[in-house]
Structure 1
Amino acid sequence: MQIPSTARTAKPSKGTGKPAPAAQVIEELRPGQSIELLKELHILTREGKLNQDTRRKLKQVYHLYQFIEPLLNEVSANNPAPTLADHGAGKSYLGFILYDLFFNVAHQGRKDAGHIYGIETRTELVDKSRALAARLGFERMSFLNLSVQQATASADLPERIDIVTALHACDTATDDAIAFGLAKQARHMVLVPCCQAEVAGVLRKSRALNLAKTPLAELWRHPLHTREFGSQITNVLRCLQLEASGYQVTVTELVGWEHSMKNELILASRPATPSAAKTRAAQARLQEVLQTLGLDELTARFAVTPVTPPDAAVSA
């Protein structure tokens, strides 16, 4: 789905007889969006236009926003000031777009419309994001120069976070974001894993032993299969971990495969009353998978943390 943009021919400039520069009317943009922000994020060119590459970026941004907007709406129904923490924020593309579209446009700049925290370990990116937020007047954005583990205990973040995002968080960084979400009793988690290597390393190390134990080890006997199967099973284990912690999990595509091979989107939401039976079943299955594949040493990595709000009992 690609919506074409249109350009209007400008009228001649007064006193010169020459046409003024053409003003492009970009139909893809939502009313009220910050043009300066889109230029800073290189979604619009410096001239305020879209080209093929930037149009693709905008399409991806909107596609992801369609997943997160309903979560923000659901949280906002009970909490007028929802909180969102974005791990491995990088240049904070996601945080800025969410703030602009949801807090500024959808809620018309309400002062109590929530807060976004960008968590990033690279100091120079944190400094740039802080400067851009100040320039745009995005007052309810904070950028923290912290690791995920540091953020879990930091006094700069509230005790609870409503939504946790981690896009293209490499290898175990996704697991760290999940641990943060569990510790903060997040209502929703939105995860796009990337470059999983830890499980593949364990599979590779125990390959000979597993080949002698089970024909299933043929799934990862060859190095290429080890890498691909390791990546796949990593996300399967993450989903089971989340389900065993009381979350309902959906796995889907982020964007079409033509854009990125790192394409898996994991959406996890915690119901008000998680089912004890379902969490026990997921926990048992998680342990079975770890044992069957010879991944017992990763039990601590995929530890289960049942999440039960203090005002809600777990249903049977």
Structure 2
Amino acid sequence: MKKNKPAKPAAPVQQDIAAQLGLQPGQSLELLKALHILTREGKLNQDSRRKLKQVYHLYQFIQPLLEELGQGDHAVTLADHGAGKSYLGFILYDLFFKNLGRGTIYGIETRAPLVESSQRLAADLGFERMVFLNMSVADSTRADFMPERFDIVTALHACDTATDDAIAFGLEKRARAMVLVPCCQAELAAAMRQNKALHLARTPLAELWRHPIHTREIGSHLTNVLRCLYLEACGYQVTVTELVGWEHSMKNELIIARYTGQKKRSAAQRLHELLAQFGLTEALAQRYPAIQAEDQ
């Protein structure tokens, strides 16, 4: 008598994609597919998982600011600089602005094809209060059709001096908060390479950037230190933390600045002293105009 073969175990039930991603109620899976974060079948590759994790973590920091600044039926204005494919802007709109019924997101990006793609997607989704501009941060600061004041300025992995441009925009527009994740800080490292031999003879501190890899690392770290001091000198309370775990991104420093109006003279003084100590005063003379003007 033949023995019946044991039945094959039932295929494991596929986990609900929303649960896997930790999506909030009402969040659009179609948006994530349109952004190519998910495939048409709703699958997620490892690179997209990292990208989505970064955006979600950043949203957790931005959401309390949106809720606070949007009180009293205020229509929050948010500028997203170096928007790229506007992952951050679209998810902010989907999670917060869409159901609120007020407030506008401005995505600012220099690459025309990305701006055009974002404009089409916003139209397809009915995200009416998303505006995409094909221009530099500096040009957007001077554009007369932009709001005179913005509530929040964001810059997620804006490369090199684009983060400084976003800060300059925030200062010009009297932003109530800035949320910045800097990337690829090369300007200061290049300046530090000049006259390196002179600095080595002048101070043992120059050993910190004698080797090229140290120049890059010290230059990156010092760039963000100077940015924080500048923001404090301009009346912002600054918090610096990690965005996500280092396994997800090496560009992981998150700077959150909230305007208090209390300008720290000691921060401006320290900034000047650091520039002098590292031989950067002349090279970065135009980088911090707000405190340069006050010193004159």
TM-score, scaled relative to structure 1: 0.84
Residues in 2 aligned to 1:25 and 1:258: alpha-carbon distance in whole angstroms: 22
Give deviations 1:201-228, integer Å, cap 9, x for gaps: 1111021111121111111111111111
Deviation of 1:138 (Å):
0.2
Give the structure 2 partner of residue 263 of structure 1: 252
Report the count of equivalent residues. 279
Q: Distance in 2 between matches of 1:79 and 1:243?
A: 29
* Superimposed CA distance per residue, residues 159-209 of structure 1 (whole angstroms, 9 cap, x where no aligned partner): 001100111111111111110000000011111111111111111102111
Are 1:275 and 2:262 an aligned pair? yes
Deviation for aligned residue 1:55: 3.8
- Out of 275, 293, 296, which is 2:281 matched to? 296
Give the match's secondary structure for 2:290.
coil
Secondary structure of 1:164's match? strand
In structure 2, list runs of 5 or more residues that go unmatched.
1-10
- Alignment of 1:284 with 2:273, yes or no, is no
Residues 121-171 of structure 1, C-alpha deviations (whole Å, 9 max, x = no match): 111111100000000000000000111111001123100011001111111
| Cα distance change of structure 1 residues 243 and 79 upon mapping to structure 2, 3 Å threshold | farther
- Rounded to whole Å, the distance in 1 between the matches of 2:256 and 2:270 is 20
Quick one: which of 63, 78, 85 aligns to 1:84? Answer: 78
Matched residue SS, 1:144: strand
* 1:237 matched residue in structure 2: 226
Of 141, 148, 167, the residue aligned with 1:159 is 148
- Check conservation: 1:87, 1:177, Cα contact below 8 A: yes
C-alpha displacement at 1:64, in angstroms? 1.1
Q: Distance in 1 between matches of 2:270 and 2:56?
A: 36
Residue in structure 2 matched with residue 4 of structure 1 by the alignment: none
**1:237/1:302 contact within 8 Å kept:** no
- Given that 1:8 and 1:25 are in contact with CA atoms closer than 8 Å, whether structure 2 keeps it comes out as no
Q: Choose from 13, 35, 42 the match for 1:48.
A: 42
Of residues 68, 89, 96, the one that matches 1:74 is 68
Alpha-carbon distance, 1:81 to partner: 0.3
SS of the equivalent of 1:89 reads coil
Of residues 6, 9, 18, the one that matches 1:26 is: 18
User: Residue by residue, what CA displacement relative to the aligned partner does 1:246-305 show, whole Å, maximum 9, x if unpaired?
Assistant: 10111111111001111111111102xx224xx111111111111111111113212335
Rounded to whole Å, the distance in 1 between the matches of 2:149 and 2:213 is 41
Identity %: 68
Question: Is the deviation greater in 135-144 or in 289-298?
Answer: 289-298
How many angstroms does 1:79 deviate by?
A: 5.5
- Between structures 1 and 2, the one with greater helix share: 2
Q: Residues of 2 paired with 1:232 and 1:146: CA distance? A: 28
Alpha-carbon contact 2:268-2:291 (below 8 Å) kept: no
Structure 1 counterpart SS, 2:105: strand
1:132 — aligned with what?
Answer: 121
The structure 1 segments of at least 4 consecutive aligned residues displaced by more than 6 Å after TM superposition are none
Counterpart-to-counterpart distance in 2, 1:225 and 1:168: 21
Counterparts of 1:285 and 1:79 in 2: how far apart (Å)?
Answer: 40
What does residue range 108-257 of structure 1 map to in structure 2 within 5 Å?
A: 108-110=99-101, 113-257=102-246
Kept after mapping to 1: 8 A contact 2:17/2:42 = no
Q: Secondary structure at the match of 1:65?
A: helix
Q: Which residue of 2 aligns with 1:17?
A: none
Give the Cα–Cα distance (whole angstroms) in 2 for the partners of residues 38 and 68 of structure 1: 19
The letter of the residue matching 2:27 is Q
The RMSD of aligned alpha carbons is 1.9
